[in-house]
Structure formats: structure tokens, C-alpha cells
Structure 1
Amino acid sequence: MSGPPVRILLVDDHAVLRAGLRLLLEREADVVAVGDAATAEDAVRALPRLRPDVVVMDVEMPGMGGLEGAREIRRRAPGTRILFLSMHDQARDVRRAFDAGADGYLLKSAADEELVRAIRAVAAGERYVHPALGAALAGPSADGPLVDLTDREREVLRLLALGHTNQEIAEALVVSARTVESHRAHLMTKLRVTTRAGLVRVALDAGLLEGRG
């Protein structure tokens, strides 16, 4: 390939993985690892100094985490491309990553050659998804309307559907009643319902209560 090599910032809380990725990229003439970081916060701080073309980042990390980190990178450096490298292989995890601003999503089980191929693709402005996940994303979501909910919102929805009051939910989740009310408001917005009965109907239709008490 002609032109300068693609500048890569590696972000993962495991130093051994970062070192392995750096060695992998050193074999390629058209990409170069310009730095690495153990947290999303460190990656965001390094943006002005390293000016990466592509950030290769884990989803689960201490502190800010990959999803929030992606949002912050997108805000501060909108031209930087983001490729997630993750162990999570559920369609909803991939959708959340793209909602956060990702340009690509690759499983950590991928072959070395596929990582390089994914980096080249997102650097060229393309969207890249691990082939094993493509079919799941193309079809209807198994989660239906719940796909965009966080794990905490799902739990609040389940407890609401079971008839618990805001105070009871707050005590069960060890949060304030105001926090529960905020989750409830977000649920109504995301699920496009205006009443508690509407929330219950969505939970039942999605099978959220099946096999749970």
C-alpha cells in the first residue's frame, strides 16, 4: 500500500495482550502501533499526542470502559476510527458497540490475519464485523425491543413487571428510589410506552419473565 502507515493505538487492560498485538502489527508494513494504553481514560488523554488513525480497544476494562471510551474518542477525535476487540459474541453486545461509535467489532478468538484485515477495513472508512457475527446482526434481534436496554434497565423492567414498587426495587438493587424512577423514565422512552402497563406488556412479550421469579 502507498502512503504513510496506519497509526494504531492499542487499548486493553492486559499488558500481555497489548504486547502480542504490537508484535503482530510489527510484521505489517502498512500499519504501525504508535502507543498503547491500559484504560480508556489513558487512551483519551493520549489522543492529541499520538494522533492515531485507528483505536483497537477492548470493551470490558476498569474505569470508564470501552463503550464510554468510544463515545469520548468520537467526541474528541471524530476522524479517529474505532475497532473493538472483544470476547463478547452476542448480537446485542455488537449493537451497543456500534451505538457507542465503533466502526468495527472483532472477536478476540479471530486469527491474526483477520485483525489486520479489520484494521485496514475500518481505516479505509468501511464497517467491519467478525464474520461469525454477521448473520446474527443481519437477522431480527432475539432480544426484540429490549436490545438497546442496559443490564440494569432490564432488571428494573423485570421487577416492575413482577409488580414491585419503586421503593422495593430500590432496596433490592441497593440504589435510591430516585434512581429507579430515572430508569423507569428511560425505559418508557426507549420502549415507546407511556404507562406501567405498557412496560409490563413489553416484558411479557419479550419473555423477560420466563423461568424467573
Structure 2
Amino acid sequence: MKGMHDAINTAAVSGKGAEEIVSSLTEREREILRLIFDGKCSNEVADILCVSKRTVDFHLARAYVKLGVSNRFQAFKRAMELGIINA
């Protein structure tokens, strides 16, 4: 089942250009991705942004959908490929 889910996500994202995917992310989603990739956990991001952990997780989940991924590792890899973050 997981393989099918990944295939559907990849197909959905591959139909869009990198620029379109990046522009579909909100500023808050990009900000949360950057903080997560800087090594912060959801609770730390919530404290930094003065929002609840649930809000952080919501934005992160929306970013995963837009990136066509299902976890932080995949999101990190995809964000690197798209130039959203730098190593």
C-alpha cells in the first residue's frame, strides 16, 4: 500500500514544474520546513513561531502534500532538489 501511495504522490508532483511546486508553498510552510531542517522539532518550531504544535504539524502536512512526500526525510530531499533549502 505504501508503494502505491508513494507512486501516486510522485505522479502528482511530477506533473508540476519545480517553480510551480515552490510557489504553491506558503511562506509559513517554507519557514516551518527551514526550521525543521535546521534540526528543530515541532514543539521547538511552535515555540519560535508562537503557535501551537498542532498548527506546525498542520502546515507541515500541507507542505508534504504539495511536495508529494510522506515524511521529513523525503521532504528534506525534495526541498533540496527544489532549492527551497541549502545544505
The two structures have a TM-score, normalised by structure 2, of: 0.70
Structure 2 equivalent of residue 175 of structure 1: 51
Give the structure with the higher percent strand: 1
User: Could you list the runs of 5+ residues in structure 2 that have no partner in the other structure?
Assistant: 1-15
Find the structure with the greater CA-based Rg: 1
Q: Structure 1, residues 137-172: CA drift from partner, whole Å, max 9, x if none?
A: xxx967352120111011011112222100111111
Structure 2 equivalent of residue 188 of structure 1: 64
Segments ≥4 residues shifted beyond 6 Å: none
Code of the residue aligned with 2:33 in structure 1: it is L
Secondary structure class of the residue paired with 2:24: coil
Structure 2 equivalent of residue 206 of structure 1: 82
Question: Are the structure 2 counterparts of residues 199 and 142 from structure 1 closer, same or farther at C-alpha, using a change threshold of 3 Å?
Answer: closer
Code of the residue aligned with 2:34 in structure 1: it is R
Q: Structure 1, residues 179-206: CA drift from partner, whole Å, max 9, x if none?
A: 0010111111111101110111122112
Q: 2:22·2:84 contact (CA, 8 Å) conserved in 1?
A: no
Give the structure with the higher percent helix: 2
Task: Give 1:80-159 correspondences, 5 Å limit.
Answer: 143=19, 145-159=21-35
Identity value in percent: 38
Question: Are the structure 2 counterparts of residues 141 and 194 from structure 1 closer, same or farther at C-alpha, using a change threshold of 3 Å?
Answer: closer
The two structures have a TM-score, normalised by structure 1, of: 0.31
CA RMSD of aligned residues (A): 2.2
Code of the residue aligned with 1:173 in structure 2: it is L
Question: Are the structure 2 counterparts of residues 148 and 172 from structure 1 closer, same or farther at C-alpha, using a change threshold of 3 Å?
Answer: same
